[in-house]
Amino acid sequence: NAGVMQNPRHLVRRRGQEARLRCSPMKGHSHVYWYRQLPEEGLKFMVYLQKENIIDESGMPKERFSAEFPKEGPSILRIQQVVRGDSAAYFCASSQGESPLAEAFFGQGTRLTVV
Amino acid sequence: AQSVSQHNHHVILSEAASLELGCNYSYGGTVNLFWYVQYPGQHLQLLLKYFSGDPLVKGIKGFEAEFIKSKFSFNLRKPSVQWSDTAEYFCAVSSYGNNRLAFGKGNQVVVIP
């Protein structure tokens, strides 16, 4: 499916800069999940949002990372003062509901490289 | 928290060979189980899922998986692979009632024509 749109696909930032990753969910989906995939690792859950609410941010690093899903517009994952260890692929998924019966559809990811 | 183990990260096999990918999870409660596939350059796609009922689950493209509760396993199988099955395969688990997924590290499968 091409429904979940992430941009940019590739992002290069210098250490200390800010990275903003965008995710537009599938039409009709109000639940968004962000995952991070470090090299040679599986995807790790970061944060779960519904419109205007952060429901579960248990996977988010405590500092420099934030996420939002405003009433209008895409969900944004923001990383301030990036460091080399932030280099990873960041995936967004959306669903119609929280239940696993509501299939989560994934975007193609944003590959962040910090130089 | 759940953890998911996938072994044999790189798998190379010839067309028509059988494929089996192992997945073990650590979580004592009721779980939902998934296999996702990521073809080169594409997004993650759901291959199959298990919530309850028949532990042998059939998915798309001839794949199936068997849930063995006593072994905490959900292994993926395909009797005869094709070149187009070259992809990365991820096993994932969520706790009952929620959609937050814990993924394994993935299996990179290369099918040689």
Distance from CA of B112 to the nearest CA of A (A): 23
Interface probe with A: pick from B39, B101, B105, B108, most Cβ of A within 10 Å: B101
Alpha-carbon span A92 to A26, nearest angstrom: 11
Interface test with A, best of B2, B99, B107, B108 (most A CBs within 10 A): B99
Q: B98 or B86, which is more confident?
A: B86
Cβ neighbors of B102 (< 8 A, separation 6 or more) are A45, B1, B2, B3, B4, B25, B92, B93, B94
**Gap between the Cα atoms of A98 and A96, Å rounded:** 7
pLDDT at A2 over 70: no
Q: Looking at beta carbons, which residues of chain B come within 8 Å of A100? A: 32, 49, 51, 94, 97-99
Please tell me the predicted confidence (pLDDT) of residue B6: 95
Residues of A with CB under 8 A from a CB of B: 1, 4, 31, 33, 35, 40-45, 48, 56, 91, 93, 95, 97-104, 106-109
Range in A5-9, A98-102, B13-17, B42-46 the model is least confident about: A98-102
What integer is the mean pLDDT of A20-47?
Answer: 94
The C-alpha of A14 sits at a distance from chain B's nearest C-alpha, in angstroms, of 25
pLDDT confidence tier of residue A1, bands split at 50, 70 and 90:
very low
Average pLDDT over residues A30-39: 94
d(CA B86, CA B55): 26
Whether A12 and A79 have beta carbons less than 8 Å apart is answered as no
**What rounded mean pLDDT belongs to chain B?**
92
Q: How far B49 CA lies from chain A's nearest CA (Å)?
A: 10
- Residues from chain B that touch A34, judged by Cβ atoms under 8 A, are none
Strand A43-50 relative to strand A10-13: parallel, antiparallel, unpaired? unpaired
pLDDT in tens, A39-89: 888 899 999 999 999 999 999 999 999 999 999 999 999 999 999 999 999
Q: Decide if A100 and B104 are in contact by the 8 Å CB cutoff.
A: no
First to last CA, chain B: 40
Distance from the Cα of B8 to chain A's closest Cα (Å) equals 13
Q: How large is the average pLDDT for residues B37-50?
A: 92
Q: What is the pLDDT confidence band of residue A99, given thresholds at 50, 70 and 90?
A: confident
Per-residue pLDDT, A56: 93
pLDDT-based confidence at B12, cuts 50/70/90? Answer: very high
Neighboring chain B residues of A93 at a CB cutoff of 8 Å: 44
B98: Cα separation from own chain's centroid: 19
Q: Write down the pLDDT at residue A92.
A: 97
Region B12-38: mean pLDDT is: 93
Give yes or no for a contact between B107 and A43, defined as CB atoms under 8 angstroms apart: no
Of residues B79, B65, B75, B62, the one with CA closest to residue B6: B75
Note if the bond before A61 is cis, omega within 30 degrees: no
Which residue from A1, A43, A100 is facing B94, i.e. has the nearest CB? A100
pLDDT above 80 for A115: yes
